[in-house]
């Protein structure tokens, strides 16, 4: 609204008398608080991520069904079945569990499992730690780690077959005994002619304790014949030569020891045939009044010579000439079968421990080690007081993983031991298989063993879960 002035102009309308608006105050119509998205009726609230709980449950349902069918149901049914007898028709209470700790076969399995849990993870972790630390500073460390880890690519079945051959008793086939016998024979003489013996027409007779002696005393300057049989020509030393008659020597007793057997037939007893071989390195002793007065060994052609002290003595072939050759250690016998199988397990899993520990070692701060060395610490002190404590979480992971793994060890124990010693190598997983699927199957005992294995694994798993939660909080 405008008003007229004497000059005919218009004046502007008077200003409003109301106070100016406070800029700090917001109009209720211009500013609205953001409202949370309204959920459609009947569809339920949204989760923090905006996903409806019903939809999330639908996606999880297949996994829950599989988990229940493959994990929960078998556990519940095994616990239920362990309280029934062999037929499953009669309630047996705790009888099956009592038998676990009274049956000698199952007790052997429990004892062996305890050995596995204590020895295998500890030694595998220690080897992995040693390999990881020692190969850290060498140029070919990566190649070494690759070789050590390579057995992990081999299945347990194949590893069992490999070590069944490695532990063969025959040194000609088993690598372990081939090495062991080689080392033994380097420091100890081995018998050359096991099962060798004289014929009744020979001038030798049994002397007691596996030895043979001449029937009559010998005289200096005469030739003595010591024929033997019972040695296969293929078992003769490769450097044995055709036997020949020894030349008589004044004041000495000479003679020939040979294999009185002509290949292809022919020949006469007590007569040296050109095709017959000398008994190389056969030990010959001269005995008077029960005492050895002289000794020697036969040459490649079987000839030998004794000093004058042997005159009038009887010649003796000691029992050491005829004992069975050393065939190494009975790796798969009742005494060593479990340590031998653990050795094959270490061959496979030491590489696994080494790789995990090496990864943890790469994250250890080098400044701490260098500072310790500058302060005068030795390498052993750096390893013991810095490296190992910083690697403790990784070592715990390796130990727990291997402990769970050995509790259910089955393949190696089933394949490596021969039938005669498999009972001595028995473990719970193998006994579970035998009790459940053997010729005299007892599903009650088998279910009880399965429950026992579950109870043994649960503490280890709980320890692992608690450890991971502590690591997460840090």
Half-sphere exposure of 108 (CA within 13 A, CB side): 14
Structure tokens at 199: 């014929």
- Three-state SS at 405: helix
Structure tokens at 398: 């390796």
Report how far apart the first and last C-alpha atoms of the chain are (Å, whole number): 75
CA angle 457, 358, 395 (to 5 degrees): 30
Q: Torsions phi, psi of 305, nearest 5?
A: -145, 135
Rounded CA separation 382/388 (Å) = 9
What pLDDT, on a 0 to 100 scale, did the predictor assign at position 236?
83
Centre a 10 Å sphere on the Cβ of residue 175 and count the other Cβ atoms it contains.
Answer: 14
Q: Torsions phi, psi of 353, nearest 5?
A: -65, -40
Rounded CA separation 295/253 (Å) = 11
Q: Which residues are CB-neighbours of 165 under 8 A, at least 6 positions away? A: 173, 174, 175
Rounded CA separation 206/317 (Å) = 10
Rounded CA separation 231/365 (Å) = 68
Output the pTM of the full model.
0.70
Q: Which residues are CB-neighbours of 127 under 8 A, at least 6 positions away? A: 346, 350, 353, 354
CA 365 to chain CA centroid, nearest Å = 33
- With a cut of 70, list the residues of the chain below it in pLDDT: 1-51, 188-191, 474
Residue by residue, what is the 3-state secondary structure of 256-298? EEEECCCCCCCCCCCCCCCCCEECCCCEEEEEECCEEEEEEEC
- Three-state SS at 205: strand
DSSP per-residue letters across 311-368: TTPEEEE-GGGTSPPP----TTSTTTHHHHHHHHHHHHHHHHHHHHHHHHHHTS-HHH
Nearest to 234 by CA among 266, 202, 277, 284: 277
Rounded CA separation 37/33 (Å) = 12
Strands 204-208 and 223-228, sheet pairing: unpaired
What pLDDT, on a 0 to 100 scale, did the predictor assign at position 274?
86
What pLDDT, on a 0 to 100 scale, did the predictor assign at position 51?
65
Q: Which residue has the tokens 């026992």?
A: 452
pLDDT tens, position by position, 89-142: 889 889 989 988 888 999 999 999 999 999 999 999 999 999 998 888 788 888
Q: Which residue has the tokens 């849990």?
A: 117
């Amino acid at each position: 609204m405008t008003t007229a002035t004497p000059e005919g102009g218009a004046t502007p309308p008077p200003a409003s008398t109301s106070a100016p608006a406070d800029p700090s105050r917001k109009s209720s119509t211009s500013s609205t608080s953001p409202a949370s998205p309204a959920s459609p009726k009947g569809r339920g609230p949204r989760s923090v991520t905006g996903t409806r709980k019903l939809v999330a449950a639908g996606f999880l349902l297949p996994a829950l069904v599989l988990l229940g069918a493959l994990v929960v149901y078998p556990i519940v049914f095994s616990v239920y079945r362990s309280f029934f007898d062999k037929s499953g028709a009669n309630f047996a209470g705790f009888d099956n569990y009592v038998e676990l700790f009274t049956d000698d076969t199952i007790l052997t399995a429990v004892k062996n499992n305890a050995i596995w849990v204590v020895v295998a993870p500890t030694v595998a972790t220690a080897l992995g730690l040693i390999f990881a630390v020692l190969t850290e500073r060498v140029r070919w460390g990566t190649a070494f780690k690759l070789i050590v880890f390579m057995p992990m690519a081999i299945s347990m079945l194949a590893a069992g077959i490999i070590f069944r051959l490695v532990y063969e008793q025959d040194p000609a086939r088993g690598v372990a005994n081939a090495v062991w016998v080689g080392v033994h024979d380097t420091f100890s003489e081995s018998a050359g002619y096991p099962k060798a013996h004289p014929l009744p027409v020979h001038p030798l007779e049994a002397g007691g304790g596996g030895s043979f002696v001449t029937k009559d005393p010998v005289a200096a300057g005469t030739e003595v014949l010591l024929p033997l049989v019972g040695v296969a020509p293929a078992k003769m030393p490769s450097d044995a030569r055709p036997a020949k008659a020894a030349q008589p020597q004044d004041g000495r007793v000479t003679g020939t020891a040979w294999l009185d057997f002509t290949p292809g037939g022919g020949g006469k007893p007590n007569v040296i045939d050109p095709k017959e071989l000398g008994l190389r390195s056969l030990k010959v002793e001269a005995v008077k009044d029960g005492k050895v007065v002289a000794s020697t060994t036969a040459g490649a052609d079987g000839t030998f010579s004794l000093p004058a002290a042997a005159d009038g003595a009887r010649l003796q072939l000691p029992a050491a000439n005829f004992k069975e050759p050393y065939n190494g250690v009975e790796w798969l016998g009742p005494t060593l079968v479990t340590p031998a199988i653990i050795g094959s397990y270490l061959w496979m899993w030491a590489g696994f421990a080494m790789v995990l520990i090496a990864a943890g070692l790469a994250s250890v701060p080098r400044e701490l080690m260098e500072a310790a060395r500058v302060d005068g610490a030795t390498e052993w002190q750096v390893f013991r007081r810095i490296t190992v404590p910083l690697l403790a979480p990784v070592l715990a992971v390796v130990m727990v993983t291997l402990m769970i793994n050995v509790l259910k060890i089955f393949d190696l124990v089933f394949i490596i031991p021969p039938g005669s010693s498999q009972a001595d190598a028995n473990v719970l997983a193998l006994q579970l298989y035998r009790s459940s699927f053997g010729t005299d199957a007892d599903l009650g005992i088998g279910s009880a063993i399965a429950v026992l294995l579950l109870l043994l694994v649960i503490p280890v798993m709980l320890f692992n879960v608690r450890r991971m939660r502590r690591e997460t909080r840090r």
